[in-house]
Amino acid sequence: MALMITDECINCDVCEPECPNAAISQGDEIYEIDPNLCTECVGHFDTPQCVEVCPIDCIPMDPDHVDSKEELMERYERIQAGEVG
């Protein structure tokens, strides 16, 4: 499952540089996560790094983008091969 940033985001800028897949970018009002690039850090870390650093816990799972760990690993492998992005 990809992650999402809720409207509680305070634009503190700590999540974006932590994302190993460059899935986080500044949106019109708050940061956003591209579900096509989010692997929940599978392939890089044991836990999602954006969630680890978020000071207000505004990065839950995105119920509209449900993926298994296997699917997240496949996405990670496609990203690493330059096939996504």
Compute CA distances 10 → 27, 55, 74, whole Å: 12, 9, 32
pTM score? 0.92
Listed in sequence order, the residues at least 6 apart from 70 whose beta carbon sits closer than 8 Å to its beta carbon are none
Amino acid 85: pLDDT:
57
- The whole-number pLDDT of residue 22 equals 96
| pLDDT tens figures, 3-46 | 999 999 999 999 999 999 999 999 999 999 999 999 999 999 99
Q: Which domains does the chain have, with CATH numbers?
A: 16-80 (3.30.70.20)
Alpha carbon 60 to its chain's center = 10
- Are the C-beta atoms of 47 and 20 separated by less than 8 Å? no
